Amino acid sequence: MGYTYVMSDLHGLYKEYLQMLEQIQFSEQDKLYVLGDVIDRGPDGIRLLQDFMQRDNVVLLLGNHEDMMLAVVTLEEFSGEEYERRMFHWSQNGGDVTAHDFFCNLNYKEQARLITYLESCPLFLPDVRVNGKQFYLVHAHPYTGKAWTDKTITTESLADIPEEAETLKKQVLWERIDGTECFDEGSTVVFGHTPTIHYQEQLPMAFWHGSGCINIDCGCAYLARGRNEGRLGCLRLEDGAEFYQV
C-alpha cells in the first residue's frame, strides 16, 4: 500500500515539483492529488501538465488559472473583442508565459490533447477517504449547493447542470475562504488558491489549519516571482505529515 499526497498552486515550478517527489520518495504505489493552479507565473506550467498526463497516479483538480486558460484556448477564433477580453484577463493574472508556450511551442495535436485533459479534470472531490478519514479536496472553496457526491463534476460535464454551472464554478475555483468559516461535517476540507500568509504571519509560508480545513498554498506564486517567502508544500493524508520544498 502506498501513501496519498496533496499539493496545490505549483504555478509553473517544475523543478521544485520534481524535488518534492524525490523528497517524499513518490512511487507508483502512491497517489498524488494536485489542487489546481499548476500553470502561469512560473515558466513550466505546460511541462507540469504534460507530466501529470503521463502518470496514472496523479489526479489534477481544476484551478482558476486552468479555467482562464480554457476560456481562451477553446474559443473558435483567436481574434475579436471576446478573445481580447479573455486574453487580457488571463494575462493580468500571469498567463502570458503559459499562453506563449501553448500557442508557440505546441503543435495542434498536443494542444488538443491538453484541452481534452483539462476539460476532464474534476472541479472538486468531496469524498476522498484515507485510513477511515474523509477529505473534501477543492481548489478554492467547497460548494455550498447540491452535494454532488454521486458523480465527478468536470468542465465538460457542467453542461449537464446548466442551472448550477456558473455558481458552482465561481465558488469552487474563485471564492476565497475567509478564515472564520467552520467545516465540521465529518470531513476535512483541503484547499489552496489563497496563500497561507493571508491567514497567519509565518514566513516562509506553512500550512494553515482552520476549523475543519487545511490550506496548503504556501506561495509558489511568490517563489515564481523570486520572493523567498514562498515555497512548495505537500500534505500526506494518512498521518498529516507536512513536507516543504524551497
- The pTM (predicted TM-score) of the whole model is 0.96
d(CA 99, CA 93): 12
Question: What domains sit in the chain, N to C, each tagged with a CATH number?
Answer: 4-245 (3.60.21.10)
Query: 132-170: b or e for each residue (b if 16 or more CB lie within 10 Å)?
Result: eeebbbbbbbbbeeeebeeeebbbeebeeeeebeeebbe
Bond into 142 cis (ω within 30): no
Picking from 118-122, 157-161, 182-186, 214-218, which range would have the lowest pLDDT averaged per residue? 182-186
pLDDT at residue 136 greater than cutoff 90: yes
Q: Check residue 145 and give its pLDDT.
A: 86
Give Dmax over CA atoms of the chain in angstroms.
52
**Cβ-contact 134, 140 below 8 angstroms:** no
